[in-house]
Amino acid sequence: MKYKGLNLENVKNNNRSAILNILNNLGAMSRKDIAEKTGLTPASVTLICTELLEEGVIYELGEMVEEKRAGRKKISVDINPTYKYILCICIESNETYITITDCKGHVIKSIVSETEKSMEPEDFLVKIAGDSTKLLWEVGISKDKLLGAAVSVPGKVDRKKGISLNTFSIWTKPVPIADILKKELSINVVVENNLKASAESELLFGYGKDHDDFVILKWGPGVGSAIIMRHRIYQGSGGLAGEIGHVSLGKGGKKCNCGKTGCLETELSVKAIKEDMTAAAGNKTKEKKIMKDKLNKLAFATRNYVSLVDPSKVILIGPMFDDPEVYAGFVKAYKEYDETVPDCFFARSKVAFNASHTDPLATALNEWFFSK
Ligand SMILES: [Zn+2]
C-alpha cells in the first residue's frame, strides 16, 4: 500500500477541493456557511477563498444576502463560470460530439458529426482537432482560456496514459488519443471510458450530489455499470469492477468480444436483440417473448448484483432505458425476483440526457478543477 504523505500542501489542496465541491453541490453561499458545511475553520475558509478569488476561480456575487439578525449583511461566493472553458469531446460508435462549455456546464456551442470508422483513427482525431479549433475560433475563445479537452470513448481506456486500448465498436487497436490531440491543439487532454465518465457526471451533477453509495446501470448499445462507493467510483484491481455485461449466463453460449463465452452482453446488446428480432420475422408473439426473456435476464443479473453491492439506488441510463416501456418492463421483471423493492429504488438519471457534454466535462473538472 502506498501512503500519500500528509504535508501542508496536501491539506491545503484538500481544503480547496472541499470548498469547490460544496459550491458545486449547493450553489452560492457565504464564507460562514462554507465553514459550517465543510467543517473547516472560518479562518482557513477566508484564506482559501481569498486565494480562489485572486485566481478568478470563484467570484463574489453582486447582491448582498441579508442575515436573519438585523444590521449585518454577508456576501456570497460561487464558482466563476467563465474562469475557464472546457472542450468536451464525446466519441460514440456512430456520432462524435464536440461541445464547448464553461466551468458550470453552460453550453457555449456544440457540433455533431459522423464518427468516421472508415478513416484511420489518427486521421479521424486530426479532423476532430481541426473541427475543435474552428469551433473555438467561432465563439472567440482562445486556448489559454481552456482548462483542457476531455474525451469520452467506449471500451477500455488507460486514463493515465490517455490511450484508448480498444473501443470494440469504432477501432480495435490501441490509439494514443491524448498524444494526438495534444500535438494538434497544444492543450491538456484527458481520456476516459464513457461509462466511467457518466459515473463522474452523476457524482458531480446528479444523484451523487447528496448520495455516496449507488450503482449506475447502462443498457444500450452494450450492458455496463459503475459502482459508486463512498462517493468514489470503485475500480477493482484492474479497473473492471462493475462489468455486469460480462457476468456469466452459464456454460457455453455465444463468444463475447471480451474473449469469454456466454456473457450477459452477448444476449442483451442492442445488436443481439436486433438479430433475435429479425429472426422472429415480424411475429408479434415471438417478439414479445424475446423481449420478456431479455428483461428477465437483466433483472436476474441485477438482482444478484444488488445483493452483493448493496446500493441505495440503481440509476438507469442508456438508450434502451430511454424507452418508457423498456424501463417499466425492467422494473416489473426485477420485482418478480424481489417483490419488496420500492419503485423509487430505480431512477432515471437527471443528467444523462446531456451525456455528450456532461460526461467529458465531469472528467475534465475532476482532473483539473476540483483537485489541484
Ligand atoms: Zn464478455
Asked if residue 252 has pLDDT above 70, the reply is yes
pLDDT at 65: 53
Closest C-alpha to 166, from 158, 245, 174, 190 = 174
Q: Are 32 and 74 in contact (CB under 8 A)?
A: yes
The distance from CA 363 to its chain's CA centroid, rounded to whole angstroms, is 7
CA of 337 to the centre of ligand 1 (A): 24
CA of 62 to the centre of ligand 1 (A): 55
> So what CATH class is 8-79?
mainly alpha
Choose the CATH number for 85-198+355-368 among 3.30.450.40, 3.40.50.170, 3.40.50.620, 3.30.420.40.
Answer: 3.30.420.40
| pLDDT, position 1 | 44
How confident is the model at residue 86, as a pLDDT?
98
Tens-digit pLDDT profile for residues 89-143: 999 988 999 999 999 999 999 999 999 999 999 999 999 999 999 999 999 999 9
Domains 8-79 and 207-349 share a fold: no
What is the rounded CA–CA span in Å between residue 371 and residue 76?
22
What residue spans define the domains of the chain? 8-79, 85-198+355-368, 207-349
CATH numeric code, 207-349: 3.30.420.40
How remote is the CA of residue 261 from the centroid of ligand 1, in Å? Answer: 7
Contact assessment for residue 190 and residue 159, using Cβ atoms and an 8 Å cutoff: yes
> Cα(253)–Cα(80) distance, rounded to whole angstroms?
53
Distance 223 CA to ligand 1 centre (A): 10
Ligand 1 centroid to Cα of residue 244, in Å, is: 9
Strands (DSSP E) found in the chain = 29-30, 58-66, 73-79, 85-91, 95-102, 107-114, 146-153, 156-158, 163-166, 189-193, 214-219, 223-229, 232-233, 314-317, 346-348
The set of cell numbers assigned to 206 is 446528479
247 close to 253: Cβ distance less than 8 angstroms? no
The C-alpha torsion from 218 through 224 and 228 to 233, rounded to 10°, is -120
Q: What average pLDDT does this structure show over 15-20?
A: 94
Cis before 221? omega within 30: yes
For residue 2, what pLDDT is reported?
A: 46
Cα of 257 from ligand 1 centre, angstroms: 6
- 152 CA to centre of ligand 1 in angstroms: 21
The answer to whether residues 83 and 352 touch, using CB atoms and an 8 Å cutoff, is no
